[in-house]
């Protein structure tokens, strides 16, 4: 009988340890509370507020990411224009940037420039408001969505649109009737991952919108506030909701994301 190679045993062992490590993290949170306390915490006004605010802000920011990433990634994939290589790098920057830094940038842009003042004058105040949470989520996640849409469009031959054009479509109609519906898996996968990252967004949102109870309190902010003041029950319920959202979105992404090469 051939002995199992050391390499095989070694690598599988490492993988198993990693798995156990991740399961322990989740298990600790899940077992730190009980069902009764959890349900009553979730029913509390504060967590209810946090859930609603999280869902609302992440929904809007995901929508914004989709609306911007579709045209932007299409331009970057299909057209050649001046400065394209540089632009490609710049729009990827938020991926590498620490969210806190992005948040500081947003705070300065909206809080100190005349552009920010002008926006505030027309009623769009970003600093210390839920609007700030939305723009923070958008900033941190747009590069993700852009990357997914770029690789989706790259995988679709431009000739589909050429054929559609010879069949009587304008370039816009050709895009809307061929490439766009053909990218629905990429859109769905990208949308889900963006939404789930948006719900979990903390650093940038903290900088721009602050952590004000019942005002800019999303689930991660709620987790942070309640951990800081020792209300573990509320903190755990926020954490558990975040875990559930992560697992669901990961599941959908795995099923739909096979057409997408993220990295």
Partner 1 sequence: MIRIENVSKDLGEFKLDDVTLHINKGEYFVILGPTGAGKTILIETIAGIYRPNIGRIFLNGIDVTDIPPKDRSISMVYQDYMLFPHLTVEKNIEFGLHNKRISSSETKAKMNEIAELLGVSHLLNRYPGTLSGGEQQRIAIARAVVIEPKVLLLDEPLSALDTRTTERLRDELERIHRLKATTTIHVTHSFEEAFSLGDRIAVMGSGQIIQVGAPDDVFRKPNSKFIADFVGVENLFHGKSVVHDGISKVHTDGIYMVSSTLKSGNVSVSIRPEDILISKNEIDSSARNVFSGTIVEVKNMGPLVRLVVDVGVPFVVALTKLSYEDMELACDTRVYIAFKASSTHLF
Closest CB to partner 1 among residues 89, 166: 166
Q: Which stretch binds partner 1 (CB under 8 A): 13-21, 65-73, 82-90, 158-166?
A: 158-166
The CB-of-156 to partner 1 minimum distance in angstroms stands at 10
Residues 172 and 246: beta-carbon distance below 8 Å: no
163 binds partner 1 (CB under 8 A): yes
Name the region of 214 (left: φ>0; alpha: ψ -120 to 50; beta: rest): left
Q: Which stretch binds partner 1 (CB under 8 A): 49-57, 69-77, 100-108, 157-165?
A: 157-165
Q: Which of 56, 59, 128, 160 binds partner 1 (CB under 8 A)?
A: 160
176 binds partner 1 (CB under 8 A): no
Q: Which two tokens stand for residue 257?
A: 């994301």
The CB-of-119 to partner 1 minimum distance in angstroms stands at 39
167 binds partner 1 (CB under 8 A): yes
Q: Which two tokens stand for residue 226?
A: 């309640």
The CB-of-195 to partner 1 minimum distance in angstroms stands at 23
Q: Which of 157, 228, 248, 262 binds partner 1 (CB under 8 A)?
A: 157
159 binds partner 1 (CB under 8 A): yes
Closest CB to partner 1 among residues 28, 163: 163
128 binds partner 1 (CB under 8 A): no
Q: Which of 44, 125, 165, 246 binds partner 1 (CB under 8 A)?
A: 165
The CB-of-110 to partner 1 minimum distance in angstroms stands at 41
How many CB atoms lie under 10 A from the CB of residue 139?
23
154 binds partner 1 (CB under 8 A): no
Q: Which residue has the tokens 């209300």?
A: 231
Closest CB to partner 1 among residues 35, 172: 172
Q: Which stretch binds partner 1 (CB under 8 A): 70-78, 143-151, 164-172, 238-246?
A: 164-172
The CB-of-155 to partner 1 minimum distance in angstroms stands at 12
Question: Which residues form the interface with partner 1 (CB under 8 A)?
Answer: 157, 159-160, 162-171, 173, 177-178, 181-182, 184
């Amino acid at each position: 009988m051939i002995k199992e190679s050391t390499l095989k045993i070694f690598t599988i062992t490492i993988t198993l340890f990693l798995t156990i490590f991740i399961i322990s993290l989740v298990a600790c949170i899940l077992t730190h509370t009980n069902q009764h306390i959890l349900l009553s915490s979730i029913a509390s006004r504060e967590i209810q507020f946090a859930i609603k605010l999280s869902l609302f802000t992440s929904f809007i920011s995901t929508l914004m990411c989709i609306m911007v990433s579709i045209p932007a990634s299409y331009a970057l994939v299909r057209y050649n224009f001046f400065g394209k290589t540089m632009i490609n790098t710049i729009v990827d920057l938020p991926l590498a940037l620490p969210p806190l830094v992005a948040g500081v940038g947003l705070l300065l842009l909206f809080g100190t420039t005349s552009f920010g003042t002008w926006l505030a004058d027309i009623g769009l105040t970003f600093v210390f408001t839920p609007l700030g949470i939305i723009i923070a989520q958008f900033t941190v996640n747009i590069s993700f969505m852009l990357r997914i849409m770029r690789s989706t469009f790259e995988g679709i031959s431009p000739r589909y649109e050429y054929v559609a054009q010879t069949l009587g479509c304008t370039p816009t109609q050709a895009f809307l009737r061929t490439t766009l519906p053909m990218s629905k898996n990429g859109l769905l996968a990208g949308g889900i991952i963006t939404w789930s990252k948006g719900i979990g967004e903390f650093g940038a949102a903290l900088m721009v919108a602050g952590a004000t109870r019942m005002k800019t309190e999303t689930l991660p902010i709620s987790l942070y506030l309640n951990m800081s003041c020792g209300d573990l029950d509320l903190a755990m319920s926020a954490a558990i909701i975040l875990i559930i959202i992560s697992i669901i979105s990961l599941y959908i992404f795995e099923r739909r994301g096979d057409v997408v090469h993220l990295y």
